[in-house]
């Protein structure tokens, strides 16, 4: 009987351990996959990636409307928030533009 309670205590200890924090590359992969699944569009690239107090903040470029020629395709920049484990907790589109146009600066 003592053996059973020892196993239960071990299982509780294992369950209580926090999951290890994923590294930056794992977070990037998760963010791309999760956002693409949610919005149904291809994520082309990650243009900004910052660790925050609550997790991660990214800006990603998404192909929203492919056109011919490709320089006229519409892309969008999305701001993506992830928790410390790399799970997507929010996103919003912050910019939409044609592929062939540069920002005025």
Does 104 map to a domain?
A: no
Does 68 map to a domain?
A: yes
Six-digit token string for 39: 């919005």
9 three-class SS = helix
- pLDDT over 60 (residue 47): yes
- pLDDT over 80 (residue 7): no
Domain count, the chain: 1
Domain housing 34: 20-98
Which CATH number is 78's domain given? 3.10.450
Residue 102: the pLDDT is: 74
Does 5 map to a domain?
A: no
- pLDDT over 90 (residue 18): no
Does 32 map to a domain?
A: yes
Does 15 map to a domain?
A: no
Mean pLDDT of the chain: 87
Does 1 map to a domain?
A: no
Q: Which residues contact 100 (CB under 8 A, 6 or more apart)?
A: 71, 72
Does 9 map to a domain?
A: no
Q: What is the dihedral of CA 71, 74, 77, 78, to 10 degrees?
A: -150
Does 67 map to a domain?
A: yes
């Amino acid at each position: 009987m003592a053996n059973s309670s020892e196993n239960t205590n071990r299982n509780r200890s294992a369950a209580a351990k926090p999951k290890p924090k994923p590294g930056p590359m794992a977070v990037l992969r998760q963010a791309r996959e999760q956002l693409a699944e949610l919005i149904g569009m291809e994520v082309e690239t990650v243009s900004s990636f910052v660790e925050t107090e609550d997790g991660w903040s990214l800006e990603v470029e998404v192909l929203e409307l492919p056109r011919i020629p490709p320089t006229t395709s519409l892309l969008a920049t999305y701001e993506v928030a992830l928790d410390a484990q790399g799970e997507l907790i929010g996103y919003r589109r912050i910019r939409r533009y044609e592929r062939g146009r540069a920002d005025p600066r």
